[in-house]
Structure 1
């Protein structure tokens, strides 16, 4: 049986290609023969009488025959007797209205694009057309009238940034437990206004725990938004302790990159003293209610201020780390640790007076807002 099968395969492979019917395969087998010249009229075949069903395609070189040499508009493909009627190329014209033929080698010079206009797409314009601005500024006015829509626009502006709100924030209200000296501290601020214009009130101070107040100040500021994240603030500051002194204030407050809350200000006193203060803090959420807050504060003076025991340059640096738990959003107790040190000439003055220049303290307090 194996010998019979092998003989059958050899016999089928030896069958001449010219004997195969055109209907038995979907592609031509030979593309290597020379193409008849289309310039010699005597050798040009009559496609009107050509029988494609019985035509031997083995002698045709389809690789060398370009579509430009074939007039599909005039070619008449008449089916053989044993074939079903097929659609003639004269009726198809391959989508070209005037029967023009496109050379597949890339030459489109003979191609009639007809309705295929690739330049018909509109070009984007930098400015809108004039007719886009012909109508009223508020289209609804044409239907409901100016008076009816004016109140609606006022309400819309109010609900999208025009509302006035206020808050009172107790940033720090804490006890500071240090070796040899316990202290208390407060840092409070509140504001009232809208998104652009606000009135701020701030107060800071410290003193002995259960004793007298050593430093106390209060500020009243006008705040104006100068960007999406920062406000420019100006106003007045009044020192109540250790002696009464007033200052002009110019500063900025807002949200710096990496979500640091920054408050920086310059103070010009009624005695001509120029000082500055920069504060920064960051809220890192461990969980939704448990928040770790690093904080830093730096103070400077432009000249010596003898009555405050301050020297020119950097005067004080304070840093701390507080861990708070928000029982509610409005109320959060915290614990932490803080470090404070005098700098530069201020430290020299403190050492000359026999006072310490730095210290570490344990903190316990609350943060709340109303």
Structure 2
């Protein structure tokens, strides 16, 4: 069979070699007079104005013209430190477009049916790069000592190796300043089982005995939560968390007869929509 095909190919080759390629219709040539310029949209021409505006009501909207929103309950958990139990929450919500969004962050502890400590932030978030946002706004704290208001400025984003980072500086009442650093990482043990270690460090610019704030490094919180994602939007978890007061803040806690370290077991649910 191969010999027959080879003979046919040799027989056809002289005829193919003698074909006049000038008679062949090749792809290309001049476009029609009414063809659209494929580069016109980069010259400031839009779908609403210019030579290519579509007639009638507009049907197409681009992604950066839509208003998006999201709600994430990062922590909604029951806490047990061996001596007492409490409820803790950390929830964030945002609404906006690609570059600018309004963000609300809230976290706190509920003990014996009442709000023991709470922190709420209202921020304007602006995209700096594909993975980093700047955040400007206000924060309000209640709980330990008198209530306190802050101005907030920081950055948040995704660092190399998929580490999520938040760094925020605060200016509060009576010239008090603070700095909060947070880092967390999601380790996929399987496609549904996720281990999430996290660490948080807080520092203050001056002493405030009334609120239990000491100058310098103030508090370190570290822990890990293991969750099972029944879906990407709903995942129960269990975990462990350790916190310690540092420096002058630890001295103020000792003066009040309070512990400077705390170990807590947690169980809760994480969800978003």
Which TM bucket (shorter chain)? Answer: 0.7 to 0.9
Name the one with the larger helix percent. Answer: 1
Q: Tell me the CA shift for residue 162 of structure 1.
A: 3.8
Look up the match of 2:233: 330
CA contact (8 A) 1:337 1:362 kept: yes
In structure 2, relative to structure 1, the CA distance for the partners of 1:137 and 1:217 (3 Å cut) is: same
Distance 1:244 1:355, change over 3 A: closer
Equivalent residue number for residue 315 of structure 1: 218
Is the Cα–Cα contact under 8 Å of residues 67 and 96 in structure 2 kept in the other structure? yes
Once the two structures are superposed, what CA deviation does each residue of 1:290-323 show, in whole Å capped at 9, x if it has no partner? 1000011111001001111111001000011100
Mapped pair 1:214 → 2:116: yes
1:349 aligns to 2:243 (yes or no): no
Q: Post-superposition shift, 1:181? A: 2.5
Distance 1:145 1:216 in 2: 48
Does residue 158 (structure 1) correspond to residue 69 (structure 2)? The answer is no
Which runs of no fewer than 5 residues in structure 2 stay unpaired? 1-36
Question: Which structure has more strand as a fraction of its residues?
Answer: 2
1:247 Cα deviation after fit = 1.1
Q: TM-score, with normalisation over the residues of structure 1?
A: 0.58
Query: Whole-Å Cα distance in 2 between the matches of residues 155 and 286 of structure 1?
Result: 44
Q: Scaled by the length of structure 2, what TM-score is found?
A: 0.77
C-alpha distance in 1 between matches for 2:60 and 2:119: 40
**Is the CA contact 2:48–2:54 (under 8 Å) kept in the aligned structure 1?**
no
1:228 corresponds, among 120, 130, 133, to 130
Q: Distance in 2 between matches of 1:145 and 1:352?
A: 68
Partner residue of 2:190 out of 262, 283, 287: 287
Counterpart CA distance in 2 for 1:294 and 1:366 is 16
Give the drift of 1:139.
7.7
Q: Is the 8 A contact 1:140 1:149 kept in 2?
A: no
Give the alignment's Cα RMSD to 1 decimal.
Answer: 2.7
* 1:270, distance to aligned residue in structure 2 (A): 3.1
**Higher RCO (C-alpha under 8 Å, 6+ residues apart):** 2
Q: 1:161-180 maps to which residues of 2 (within 5 A)?
A: 161-180=64-83
Query: How many residues align structurally?
Result: 232
Matching of residue 247 in structure 1 with residue 145 in structure 2: no
* 1:323 to 1:147, Cα distance in 2 relative to 1, 3 A: same
Runs of 4+, deviation exceeding 6 Å: 139-142, 154-157
Deviation at 1:179, TM superposition (A): 2.0
Structure 1: gaps spanning 5 or more residues: 1-134
SS in 1 for 2:213: coil
